[in-house]
Amino acid sequence: MDSVSTLILGIALIVIMLGMGLSLVPSDFKRIFVKPKAIVLGLINQLIFLPLIGFLLASILPLEPAIAIGIMILAACPGGPTSNLISHLAKADVALSVSLTALSSFITILTIPFIVNFALVEFASEGKIVPLDIPDTIKKILMITVIPVGVGMLVRHYYSNFAERMAKPVRIASGALLALIIIGLVIKQKDVFVDYFQQAGLVALLLNVITMALGYFSAKLFKLNILQARSISIESGIQNGTLAITVAAVLLENESYAIAPAVYSLIMFGTGGVLIYMALRKDKQSNM
């Protein structure tokens, strides 16, 4: 990946994580003690079942190694700020969604390198394995995720009015940058993109739909309310695609690994829209 693309990708991720920080307050991290069942269930779905389902799909379906590794990179990543927006539009438990996004973003700093290394060993062609340096990777992910979130939280604490005014522009900017990244990947990988999209489209859709369904029905199984179930469903299935693309294209220096996260990022907006429609329709019927 050239230096300009790397710079744009880094800026995009920093803007997204800064925007997340602008929406966080310390009480979001205390919520695990207030609503432990919902938080713990959401984290189990996201940190354990999501990678397991990703691995099963990558193992069962006939995928190119690059697509299988890309799916595992994506499954290792936390929920993204997009999940908070979808939770808001679907009238879910936004506080729970924000808390899960924040907590999973911190925890996955430690888990991403191990899951990605496992995927490289499992799916990469022999002789093409470039394992991640785990301590160095943890440090890099820390720098591009936690530090911007921390800066955003400081701004929110000391300049709350400014943070509220900036929330919408930052969301728009992060969405525009993600679109720019995906377009750039399509152009650079145009010779193989159609073939990769045909493979990645199905597995990305299955991963998204299965994890969202698991999140919803597991929440109902544990007798959480409908708003919590919606949030856990969204957090289980809407991942930080920009971080996944960064890990693939910058840390692993292999843009073909970024195709599956890019395809997933497109699909999740479609399924997220369907979920919003279904939630609002159900609420309307309940109020009639």
**Count of other CB atoms within 10 angstroms of residue 221:** 10
Measure the CA angle with vertex 121, ends 116 and 125; round to 5°: 115
Q: What is the DSSP-derived secondary structure letter of residue 222?
A: T
Residues 6+ apart with CB under 8 A from 63: 71, 199, 200, 203
What is the reported pLDDT for 128? 53
Residue-level pLDDT at 6: 63
- Whole-model pTM: value is 0.80
Q: Which residue, among 251, 244, 256, 258, has the nearest Cα to 74 in the 3D structure?
A: 244
Q: What are phi and psi of 125, to 5 degrees?
A: -65, 145
> Residue 50: its pLDDT value, please?
94
What was the pLDDT predicted at 155? Answer: 87
Q: What is the CA radius of gyration of the chain?
A: 18
pLDDT at 45: 94
Residue 126 confidence (pLDDT): 52
Torsion angle (degrees, nearest 10) of CA 244, 249, 250, 251 = 70
Residue carrying the six token digits 């999140």: 215
CA distance linking residue 107 with residue 57, whole number of Å: 24
All residue ranges of the chain with pLDDT < 70 are 1-9, 28-29, 31-32, 125-134, 171, 174-175, 177-178, 181-182, 184-186, 188-193, 287-288
Cβ contacts of 92 within 8 Å, gap of 6 or more: 227, 228, 230, 231, 234, 279
Report residue 212 as tokens.
């969202």
223: left (phi over 0), alpha (psi -120 to 50) or beta: left
SS3 177: helix
Domain boundaries, the chain: 3-282
What CATH topology corresponds to 3-282?
A: Na+/H+ antiporter like fold (1.20.1530)
DSSP-derived letter for residue 35 is S
Which is nearest to 82 in space by CA: 280, 283, 276? Answer: 276
pLDDT at 268: 82
Q: What is the pLDDT of residue 189?
A: 63
- Residue 50: other Cβ atoms inside 10 A: 28
